[in-house]
A and B are shown apart, each in its own frame.
Chain A
Amino acid sequence: DVVMTQSPLSLPVTLGQPASISCRSSQSLVHSDGNTYLSWFLQRPGQSPRRLIYRVSNRDSGVPDRFTGSGSGTDFTLNISRVEAEDVGVYYCMQGTHWPPWTFGQGTKVEIK
């Protein structure tokens, strides 16, 4: 199984400041079809997860452009350019290249300082 490792696991941020979350996979996530199936999700407190980014860098509909996904191979990053109060929650990366199983990172808890 592909192991997804996120860092940091806790990220206190100041409103208006940037934030960055790293996600590393135990093997390359490049699929034989040429795509890289790496997604990012945000789970706000008491809510279901919501997909923010798919295939490394594609923002979902309605996701603010302050969220940017990047990376390749085994190394991926989610950047938030200016953190807002509504960005608080737990962020997960997930790979869908080598399934089953689909595997998630441990989660990164973002909170306001």
Chain B
Amino acid sequence: EVQLVESGGGLVQPGGSLRLSCAASGFTLSSYWMHWVRQAPGKGLMWVAHMKSDGTITTYADSVKGRFTISRDNAKNTLYLQMNSLRADDTAVYYCSGRGFDLWGQGTLVIVSS
């Protein structure tokens, strides 16, 4: 079965760090452009970061640039989002998505609070 499964969310204090994982199964993650998209509680969807299939290009939303890093482990078929210097407004459900946003994971909740 083709699927994406996120993990790594949780409660973190402002200024802290967290690494999200997105494990792919049923397809090779490195064959597709992959994205992280987030949704703050009760709000709409916001694109966060992207990695080109060959890994040569990564792009970020201005609000996370310099704080978040998207990466990939081809051997584990897993996408990551390293989040540093977290702020309260980073609180959201984080989804990974691929295949032109055709595939989405179930999301993982990140809460930034003291």
Contact = CB atoms under 8 A, between A and B. Distances in A.
Interface of A: 39, 41, 43, 48-51, 54, 60, 90, 92, 94, 96, 99-107
Interface centre among B35, B47, B97 (most CB of A within 10 A): B47
A48 B106 contact: yes
Contact of B101 (A43, A51, A100, A107): A51
B45 A101 contact: no
A15 B46 CA distance: 30
B60 interface: yes
B45 A107 contact: yes
7 contacts: A49-B104, A96-B101, A99-B59, A101-B47, A101-B61, A102-B35, A107-B45
Contacts of B26: none
Contacts of A54: 100-102
B45 A49 contact: yes
A45 B38 CA distance: 16
Given A48-B107, A92-B45, A94-B101, A100 B95 contact: no
Interface in B30-49: 35, 37, 44-47
A39 B105 CA distance: 18
Interface of B is mostly: strand
Given A100-B61, A107-B45, A51 B102 contact: yes
Contact of A99 (B44, B46, B50, B102): B50
Contacts, number: 54
A90 B105 CA distance: 17
Given A102-B47, A104-B45, A107-B44, A41 B101 contact: yes
A51 B104 CA distance: 9
B44 A50 contact: no
A100 B50 contact: yes
A48 B44 contact: no
Contacts of B105: 48
